[in-house]
Structure 1
Amino acid sequence: MDWLNTYHIGGIVIGICTFLIIGLFHPVVVKAEYYWGTRCWWIFLVLGILGIAGSVWIEDILISSLLGVFSFSSFWTIKELFEQRERVLKGWFPMNPKRKAEYEQHQS
């Protein structure tokens, strides 16, 4: 990883990877809410905590930074799951027909 410092592109690599990590989480939120609803929020909490632990434990600044981005993107996903449910209720995203009763329960 010395070549990142040699060519002064560490920040660019972190920026690109951050963009990709955040971009990856959008379809994850949509799919997770579709298949499991909001009850899978705790998975993202655990992923976030593990990411923070890894970020503190790993000395390499690139990997540590990316784990930090991953962990806080996981925490943000918890909020987005609940907002995704609201977007589904508004009709902006497809509703899982297998969980129709769950959606009707939240509308009342």
Structure 2
Amino acid sequence: MIWSGVIIGGISFLIIGIFHPIVIYCEYYFTDRIWPLFLVVGLVFCILSLFVHQIILSAALAITGFSMLWSIKELKEQTERVRKGWFPENPNRVKK
């Protein structure tokens, strides 16, 4: 049997699940203006995945990279969810 697909699926599940609280945390403490960090690190991970010859590690890097890129959109949506009152706003943040 070849377990690579199942392992990659499990890794995908874990990485995507981990990024949900990361987005909430980043929006709470740094606002959605942290998106350039997600862009740069996401692109670096995607590029690194091209040079790794081990398929599972390469897939994990690519999944992490694309999850970071997707998180840019989620940061904007999280800002909107906070504005609607669905998530708490950081009380220490200076309002515009």
Considering the TM-score relative to the shorter chain, is it more than 0.5?
yes
Residue in structure 2 matched with residue 106 of structure 1 by the alignment: none
Within the candidate set 25, 36, 41, 1:42 is matched to 36
Within the candidate set 54, 65, 70, 2:64 is matched to 70
Q: After the TM superposition, list the runs of 4 or more consecutive aligned residues in structure 1 that deviate by more than 3 angstroms.
A: none
Per-residue deviation, residues 27-81 of structure 1 (Å, max 9, x unmatched)? 0000000000011101111111111111011111111111111110000000000
Q: What is the TM-score normalised by the length of structure 2? A: 0.95
Q: In structure 1, how many angstroms separate the alpha carbons of the residues matched to 2:46 and 2:38? A: 12
Q: Alignment partner of 1:98: what SS?
A: coil
| 5+ residue gaps, structure 2 | none
Residue in structure 2 matched with residue 4 of structure 1 by the alignment: none
Give me the CA root mean square deviation. 1.0
Residue in structure 2 matched with residue 101 of structure 1 by the alignment: 95
Q: In structure 2, how many angstroms separate the alpha carbons of the residues matched to 1:22 and 1:92? A: 21
The alignment of Structure 1 onto Structure 2 pairs a total of residues equal to: 96
The sequence identity of aligned pairs, in percent, is: 47
| 5+ residue gaps, structure 1 | 1-6, 103-108
Q: Is 1:79 equivalent to 2:79 in the alignment?
A: no
Within the candidate set 71, 83, 86, 1:89 is matched to 83
Q: In structure 1, how many angstroms separate the alpha carbons of the residues matched to 2:51 and 2:5? A: 21
Q: In structure 1, how many angstroms separate the alpha carbons of the residues matched to 2:54 and 2:32? A: 34
Q: What is the TM-score normalised by the length of structure 1? A: 0.85
Residue in structure 2 matched with residue 3 of structure 1 by the alignment: none
Within the candidate set 54, 57, 60, 2:51 is matched to 57
Q: In structure 2, how many angstroms separate the alpha carbons of the residues matched to 1:57 and 1:10? A: 18
- Answer 1 or 2: which has greater helix percent: 1
